[in-house]
Structure 1
């Protein structure tokens, strides 16, 4: 397999069945992480975790950029894969966590996981510079990452709230008022958008709570709801 060829998911799955932590899998798993970043492969947590485990066995061969890339890929699965971040973080040496680009990526994941969306975007905007010239991180960040994350944030809000102020939603998504009409295109959880309110699709959870988001309401409620959803999956 050449440097430019990326393994298909089916091939990676076959390696996982035979022995996920075989050190001989390292180059293939690295290539599949790159494929995910380029949009040429679907997200595969088990394969990404296996690569980091192999790095534990062979620390001298570990690629620092791959640690950050695996974290970025799991971040884009928000809110459904929040538990992935925790599992992955245990496999990243402390010295790597404290160095760039992992340090800033971890800040982003923590802010996102805590539903501190406005602060999240401020940190997210610095990722392109801290990731340097890594072409795979650049491809991921310059591609559909922002829209994917906006969809995830809307999904997270809809877990608890039936409606929210439009200006608050736009701030959480790092969008201006001119983009309000596109919210229904970004996420299927948005039912409608009026002059000042975003209404989410009714669910058992957001109806039974009867909540309308207001300024000053803690996002802890959302974080707790997300934890319950992940636990029951």
Structure 2
């Protein structure tokens, strides 16, 4: 997924706002909101700009749009295992994060709570539970509807995590993780993830992250670091 953390990749008008005092100007709220919509439509992601918009919402709560907030949170899910979701939540009103919603934040509170559940499952690698939860309530379908390619992006992120931590995995387990089966599973695993299938086992290519290597720890301790200890050993007690 393209990320605009690098200022060179970000649209120039957004960069100019983020680098100037206008990032605190309420009039730029609509520009950032349109930018979030573009990220959802075109599959790009700009955490820095999204956080700037949430900060504007903090200062100007009357300008906040529930749909934009949920879209930002959904987009942040697509870059797990990063901490972007948590960063976004820290800029939300505390009333949205408590277990009991305020009367004025009922719908948005429920959306935030449901997305938090998804984030927890992704962070803890409960991928099969993630898909089951996603399919358990029509509200989840509504929450991710604006984010183009959400499910495929999540699958790619799961493949990245798998690639960095596993050498072999059973087909059945990975099917549950990816929520795919049969030809769709074979195509994704081989063409997108770059894994191979041998019978009921999926083989992950050896790489620097999943290779088992011994770790040798060397410590350099200078003698003068112990000089005080040695000196005290020879001191006479008072």
Q: TM-score with structure 2 length normalisation?
A: 0.74
1:19-168 to 2 correspondences below 5 Å = 19=21, 20-39=23-42, 42-79=44-81, 82-97=82-97, 99-126=109-136, 129-130=139-140, 132=142, 137-140=144-147, 143-168=148-173
- CA distance in structure 1 between the partners assigned to 2:203 and 2:126 by the alignment: 21
Is 1:199 the counterpart of 2:210? The answer is no
The answer to which of 70-79 and 200-209 deviates more is 200-209
Alignment RMSD (CA, Å): 2.2
Is 1:186 the counterpart of 2:188? The answer is no
Unaligned runs of 5+ in 2: 1-9, 99-108, 215-238
Q: 1:92 deviation in Å?
A: 1.2
Q: 1:131 deviation in Å?
A: 6.4
- CA distance in structure 2 between the partners assigned to 1:209 and 1:123 by the alignment: 37
Bigger Cα Rg: 2
Q: Deviation digits for residues 89-114 of structure 1, max 9, x if unmatched?
A: 10112322451222211111111111
- CA distance in structure 1 between the partners assigned to 2:179 and 2:11 by the alignment: 33
Q: Higher relative CO (CA 8 A, sep ≥ 6), structure 1 or 2?
A: 1
Q: 1:146 deviation in Å?
A: 1.0
Whether contact under 8 Å (1:104, 1:127) holds in the other structure is no
Q: Deviation digits for residues 176-200 of structure 1, max 9, x if unmatched?
A: 234332112232xx33122211111
Length, aligned pairs only: 193
